[in-house]
Structure 1
C-alpha cells in the first residue's frame, strides 16, 4: 500500500484527489493539509511515501515545503517522501524550481485520473522517470547553464551512458537490457550518478544533465 498525503489550499481539489487515490487497492490517502507550512508535521505524523503538493499555497508554497522536507531528512536522517507537484501550468517557473528543490515530478490539475495514479506509482517505485518528455521540455526551456556541476562530478564513461539513458526515460530494466548489464548493476551505477551530482533522485539528475548541456534535446 502506497501512503499518500495531499497538500492543497483548495478543498475541492483535495476532495477530488482523495476520491481518485482512495479508489485504488494499492493506494491510500493518509491525510490532507491546506498549506505547505503544515506539510513537515503531517509527514512526521503520518509517514506518507508520496506527497501530492500544490505549488502555490498562501503561507508556504510547495517549493519551500519541498525544501523543508529535504532539510528535515538531512538534519534528522528521517526518510523523506517523494513529492509530486500538482500544478495548473506546465511551463511555470515554479515547477522547475520545485524539481530543483527535490520534487520527483509533476502533474497538471487538469490531468486524467489515470495520469495522477501513474505519477504516484512511478515516483514511489523510483526506478524510472515520470513523464520524461515533459521534464525535458521544462528543463530546456528554463535552463540555467551549470556545466561545472557535471564537468567536475567525475562520472565514469559507464555512468555517463547510464545518465543519458535515464534522461531518455529508460527504466533500470530497460537500461540493463540496452547495456547488457544486470539490473542490480544498473541500480548501483544510478546510485553513483546521483551521489556524484548531489541529486536526490533521477529527476534532479536529469534536470542537471539538460541544463548543463550534457544531454541535448532532439532537434
Structure 2
C-alpha cells in the first residue's frame, strides 16, 4: 500500500532542482503542498489533507538537508586549487583514421611551450581539442583536411581539484553544475579526470563561474 510519504518522496526525487531547494530550506512547504496536492491525490486515488503533505515534505527536507550537509558539502569544503586560464579556442572535429596522427603533431608543438593550455577528449564520433588561441593557426594548418564541425573562441577555463573522496559520494558534480546553471552560466565543455574537472565558459562569464565554485567551499 502506498503511503503519502512514499508518494511525496517519489514526486520530489523526479525534480532535481526542487529537491535541492528543499534541502536548503528555501521553499514554503505549505505553498508547495497546495501545488503538488492534485498529483499526490491522483497517485494515491484518494483525497489528502494539505497538512499531511506538509509533514511529509518536512520529513523529506530534513533528511535531504542531513545528507547534503554530511556528505556532499563535506567534500565541497575540501575543494583544492582552482585554476583559471583565458584566451582559449575550442575545436570539434569528426573522428577519422588520420586525426590521431594530427593530434600527435599538435602535441609536439604544445610541448615546445609549457605555458600553452591544451586538453582533448574523444567521443564515439567526435574529437574535441581546447588550446590557447596562440596555437589557432597551427591547429588549423595541421587539421585542414579534417572536418571541423564547430569552433568557439574567446573562452576561458576553470579547473578544479577535488578531494579523493569525490568518487565515493554521489551527487558531487550535480551539486556543482546545478549552482552554475542557477547563475545562467553556459558550459561549452566539461572535461574531467578522477580528481579534477575543467569547465569551459565564455570570457564574460568566467568571473561568475570562478566565484560560484569558490563559494562552495564556504557552504
Higher relative contact order, chain-length normalized (CA < 8 Å, sep 6+): 2
More strand by share: 2
Q: TM-score range by the shorter chain?
A: under 0.3
- TM-score in terms of structure 2 length: 0.19
TM-score of the superposed pair, with normalisation by structure 1:
0.19
When Rg is computed on C-alpha atoms for both structures, the one with the higher figure is 2
